[in-house]
Structures are given as C-alpha cells and as structure tokens.
C-alpha cells in the first residue's frame, strides 16, 4: 500500500477526539487540594484503585512540601509493595530519520536542512542488531520518522529482519515500535509481524499548543494522532503505549491528558495503556524551549509519582533523555523500564569510531543525558539492589495484559516476573557481564532467591539457573 497522509484518514471517521481542554483547565483551576484529601487519595491508590481525573487534579494542586513528600513516599510504597525491585531493560534503535512532518522541537523535522537523512539498509540493520545483541540486549524499540518510505509493510519487514538476527547466544525476543500513526489496515500489517507494544506519544494533549508546534505534514492533525491508538486497538493491537513530551505546555495539563487518555482506552476497549512514557523535552539543533513550560527536576519527580498513583497498574518508561541522578530518584517512584547503552544516531551501535559533537548534532534527534553502557547501567542497578530483567515471557506466551496481571493477580510477580528476571539476569551474567558485574549479579540473584523462598519453592528456578550455567538459554515461566 502506498502510504499517504490521506490514507490514514479514511477509516477514522468514527474516531472522535476525547480530550476536552476546557474541562481539564477547569478541573485544574477549581479543584482544591488539602493534606487530608492527599492522604485519602494515596490510600485509594495503595488499595489498588484507579484515581479519577478530579483526584489527579487534587494531587497536581498539592504544592506544600509535606504533601509533595507524601505523594512521593506513597508512590514509593506502591512500587515496593506491588512491583518489588525488578527493572526491565531495553534499547531504542533508530531505523530511519526521513520525515515529512515539521515538529518544531525535533532535529528530524522536515525544515531542518542540516539533518543528514538516512534509512538503515537491511545490512546496516542486521549489523546494528548484532551489535546490540553483543551487548546483551533482548528487547528493542524500533523508531522511525514519518515518511512514505516507512510504510506498514516496510515497518513489518524491519521487525521480521530484527527477529531473524541471531548472534552467538544473542537474539531479540521482543520488538516494540515507536512510529507514525497508521490506518487500521496498516496497524494490522504491523501487528502480524509480531510486535510487542506500539507507542504513539501525543506530545501535547493541549489542542492549541499542539497546533503551534506541529507546523507541517500529517502530524499537524491533532485528532488523527489522538485517535491513533483507537485504530491500533481496532486492528487487534491491545498493547499500546501512550506518552506526552513534557515541556511543550503546562505539565499539569499533560498529566491530566495522560489520565484522560487512559480512561478513554479503559472505557472503550476494557484495557488501559501497557506503558506510559513521560520524556522531558531536550535541546535539538536550533530549537529553543519556551521557558514558561520548562519542567523543573522538582516538578518532574512529582509528576512521575502522581502518574504512578493515578494509574497504578501500568508500566512506566524512563529514557536516557534524563540525567543519571533523576533516573535514580524516579526509579523509586514506580518506573519499571529504562533503556541502557542508548545511542540515538543512526548506525551508531555498530559504528565503533567516535564522532565529534557537531557531527553528532546533525544526525541525532536530540541530545541525551545518560550515555553509559548497558553493563554500567546494570552494574548501578545491582549496587542499588534492583533486579535487572530482560524478561519477555508474558508477551511470548500470549499472557496479554501482563502489567494488569502483575498488579491484580496475587503472587503473579513472585511466581513469574521475579523468577524470569532472575533467569534472564543469569543469562546476561553468563554471556555479557564484566567480571565485577557478574560477581555482584550472582549475589543479587542469591539474595532474591532467599527472599522468594519465604513465599514459594525455588527448586525449579535454581535448577534452571544450573541449566543456564551449562549453556541452555531462553528458559522461562
């Protein structure tokens, strides 16, 4: 199918926008917060209930330091008691940066004539995946600009290519997608290639602000983007990721937008978003942020905690856009996935020589603030007593709604998630870890086994670890 901006409008007539900016602004302006209400809502979230839009406004309007501390402590407790200490690792892989859209904030925008445009050839793609596998990655998110070259058929082709790359003990077991909104037909084509999550970020949920930043191409159309994940659902992709680019408009409005979007998906499809992303706007080529909307570290950490409480069952993704210290803090408030060893320049994973910074800026979409290797990220997680995980079991066993099960099925995390995290960490240690990371890793595994033993038998996990030591791979529950 030839992919044109018009082609994804045809099936969309029934899709109506569900964001009422005035409603959100009124809620933010008129909802009164108090320490008592904040306490009540934290208890509501801790008893595994979803917060309403109005509840979320109460938390957003809590500005005294005692309430903010309670919100952060509440998110921390929710994360610790429900999800434990696992952190899932992944890497983004940029496949092509050709783009017809003109998003003011993005280095790939069509008006940026300095940008060096590139699409990985199949050969380049294989090399990139081999390099990622050599580092120990098992989960990727493929990223594309919006361009007729990146049709659903092309995206599906790249997904299949990635799954077919096997180097040594390496393989990619889950491919997620971050690409342009598609038609229902287009989503079906991509779904058939075996993707995990399809992510589309709304960038800003505020319609007027959206118009200001999106100056050309199909992405100009707010409603087309807003309803894109409805089309994904109609196409049978029930694993979707939502997100907002924090820094384009008032961050409180964006949090409300994310919660409203979640409500919409729950109401219409009986399943909420698999993941929520909350990237903070970074400098990109000549783009200068509007200081009114710049999100401070203080507000950013608060908003992550509020999202954790408002939508307690969903996966929360933090990326290398954030500096190490912020990553460290928000991991406590409920982030469940982070990237490690990230490179945003096309072809850079397999390209060994260092480029100087000015060369880089013309090839990257924006600057990242954490350029540590995957091993360094894992090493630090181990130091902080987290359990790094490359688990892909639910998706591969057809256990859809995995985050919801983690959240709602008693014992699910211990029985499946922790056990699989331990097994995938054991594989990483055997195949890729540096000696000192390996030593720390085995200690963390031992400690986690001891913790699990208080609740269940661990003989089968231990026997599988021995099988992994002898060379077997991909053992999961």
Taking the complex as a whole, how short is the minimal distance between the CB of residue 106 and ligand SAM, in angstroms? 4
- Mapped onto helix, strand or coil, the DSSP state of residue 387 is strand
Nearer to ligand SF4, 108 or 386 (CB): 108
Q: Specify whether the CB–CB gap between 475 and 468 falls below 8 A.
A: yes
User: What b/e readout covers 148-171, taking b as 16+ CB neighbours within 10 angstroms?
Assistant: eebbbebbbebbebbbebeeeebb
| Residue whose pair of structure tokens reads 């429900």 in the numeric block | 82
Question: Based on C-alpha coordinates, what's the Rg of the chain?
Answer: 22
Among residues 27, 99, 141, 232, the one that binds ligand SF4 under rule CB under 6 A: 99
**Which one of ligand SAM, ligand SF4, none interacts with residue 143, CB within 5 to 8 A by kind?**
ligand SAM
Among residues 103, 132, 255, 475, the one that binds ligand SF4 under rule CB under 6 A: 103
Nearer to ligand SF4, 108 or 253 (CB): 108
- Interface positions, 217-236, toward ligand SF4 (CB under 6 A): 219
Taking the complex as a whole, how short is the minimal distance between the CB of residue 452 and ligand SAM, in angstroms? 37
The C-alpha atoms of residue 401 and residue 404 are separated, in whole angstroms, by: 5
Q: Which residues pair with 287 in a beta bridge?
A: 284
Among residues 12, 133, 146, 402, the one that binds ligand SF4 under rule CB under 6 A: 146
**Which one of ligand SF4, ligand SAM, none interacts with residue 321, CB within 5 to 8 A by kind?**
ligand SAM
Among residues 74, 92, 136, 145, the one that binds ligand SF4 under rule CB under 6 A: 145
Q: With CB under 6 A as the contact rule, which of the stretches 25-33, 105-113, 254-262, 390-398 interacts with ligand SF4?
A: 105-113
Taking the complex as a whole, how short is the minimal distance between the CB of residue 141 and ligand SF4, in angstroms? 14
Nearest to residue 368, comparing CAs of 67, 17, 94?
94
**Which one of ligand SAM, ligand SF4, none interacts with residue 109, CB within 5 to 8 A by kind?**
ligand SF4
Asked if 101 interacts with ligand SF4 (CB under 6 A), we say yes
Among residues 50, 72, 79, 109, the one that binds ligand SF4 under rule CB under 6 A: 109
* Residue 333 structure tokens: 């408030």
Contacts of 58 (CB under 8 A, 6+ apart): 31, 32, 33, 37, 38, 41
Contacts of 412 (CB under 8 A, 6+ apart): 405, 406
Nearer to ligand SF4, 282 or 424 (CB): 282
Contacts of 373 (CB under 8 A, 6+ apart): 135, 340, 341
Nearer to ligand SAM, 279 or 340 (CB): 279
**Which one of ligand SF4, ligand SAM, none interacts with residue 175, CB within 5 to 8 A by kind?**
none
Nearer to ligand SF4, 243 or 315 (CB): 243
Q: What is the largest CA-CA distance in the chain?
A: 63
Among residues 3, 90, 94, 108, the one that binds ligand SF4 under rule CB under 6 A: 108
- Interface positions, 181-220, toward ligand SF4 (CB under 6 A): 219
Q: With CB under 6 A as the contact rule, which of the stretches 68-76, 102-110, 269-277, 351-359 interacts with ligand SF4?
A: 102-110
* Residue 264 structure tokens: 């919409």
* Residue 345 structure tokens: 């320049």
Nearer to ligand SAM, 60 or 180 (CB): 180
| Residue whose pair of structure tokens reads 């850079």 in the numeric block | 348
Q: With CB under 6 A as the contact rule, which of the stretches 95-103, 225-233, 353-361, 382-390 interacts with ligand SF4?
A: 95-103
Nearest to residue 464, comparing CAs of 405, 406, 393, 384?
393
Give me the residues that bind ligand SAM (CB under 6 A), please.
105-106, 143-146, 178-180, 200-201, 203, 245, 279, 281-282, 284, 321, 365-366
Nearer to ligand SF4, 219 or 321 (CB): 219
* Residue 197 structure tokens: 């999550």
Nearest to residue 476, comparing CAs of 378, 400, 394, 408?
394
CA distances from 240 to 243, 275, 278, 432 (A): 10, 7, 15, 31
The residue ranges that bind ligand SF4 (CB under 6 A) are 99, 101, 103, 106, 108-109, 145-146, 219
């Amino acid at each position: 199918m030839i992919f044109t901006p018009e082609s994804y409008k045809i099936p969309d007539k029934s899709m109506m926008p569900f964001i009422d900016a005035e409603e959100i602004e009124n809620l933010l302006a008129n909802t009164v917060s108090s320490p008592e209400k904040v306490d009540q809502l934290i208890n509501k979230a801790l008893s595994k209930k979803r917060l309403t839009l109005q509840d979320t406004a109460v938390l957003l309007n809590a500005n005294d330091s005692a309430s903010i501390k309670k919100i952060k402590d509440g998110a921390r407790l929710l994360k610790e008691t429900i999800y434990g200490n696992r952190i899932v690792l992944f890497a983004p892989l940029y496949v092509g940066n050709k783009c017809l859209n003109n998003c003011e904030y993005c280095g790939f925008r069509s008006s940026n004539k300095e940008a060096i445009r590139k699409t990985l050839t199949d050969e380049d793609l294989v090399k990139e995946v081999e390099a990622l596998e050599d580092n120990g990655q098992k989960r990727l998110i493929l990223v594309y600009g919006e361009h007729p070259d990146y049709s659903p058929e092309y995206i599906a082709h790249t997904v299949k290519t990635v799954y077919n790359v096997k180097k040594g003990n390496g393989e990619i077991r889950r491919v997620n997608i971050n690409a342009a909104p598609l038609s229902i037909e287009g989503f079906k084509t991509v779904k058939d290639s075996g993707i995990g999550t399809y992510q589309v970020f709304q960038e800003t949920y505020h319609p007027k602000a959206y118009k200001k930043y999106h100056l050309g191409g199909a992405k100009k159309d707010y409603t087309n983007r807003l309803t894109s994940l409805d089309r994904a659902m109609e196409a049978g992709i029930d694993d979707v990721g939502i997100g907002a680019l924090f820094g384009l408009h008032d961050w409180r409005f964006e949090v409300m937008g994310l919660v409203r979007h979640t409500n919409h998906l729950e109401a219409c499809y009986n399943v909420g978003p698999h993941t929520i992303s909350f990237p903070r706007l970074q400098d990109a080529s000549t783009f200068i942020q509007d200081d009114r909307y710049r999100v401070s570290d203080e507000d950013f950490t608060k908003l992550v905690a509020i999202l954790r409480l408002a939508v307690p069952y969903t996966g929360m993704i933090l990326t290398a856009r954030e500096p190490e210290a912020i990553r460290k803090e928000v991991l406590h408030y409920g982030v469940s996935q982070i990237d490690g060893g990230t490179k945003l320049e096309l072809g850079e994973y397999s390209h060994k020589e260092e480029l100087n910074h000015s060369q880089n800026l013309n090839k990257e979409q924006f600057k990242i603030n954490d350029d540590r290797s995957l091993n360094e990220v894992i090493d630090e997680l181990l130091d902080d007593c987290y359990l790094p995980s490359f688990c892909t079991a639910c998706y591969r066993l057809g256990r859809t709604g995995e985050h919801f099960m983690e959240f709602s099925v008693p014992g699910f995390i211990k029985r499946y998630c922790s056990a699989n995290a331990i097994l995938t960490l054991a594989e990483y240690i055997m195949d890729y870890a540096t000696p000192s990371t390996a030593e720390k890793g085995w200690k963390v595994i031992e400690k986690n086994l001891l913790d699990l033993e208080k609740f269940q038998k661990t003989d089968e996990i231990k026997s599988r670890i021995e099988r992994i030591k002898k060379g077997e791979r991909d053992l999961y529950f």
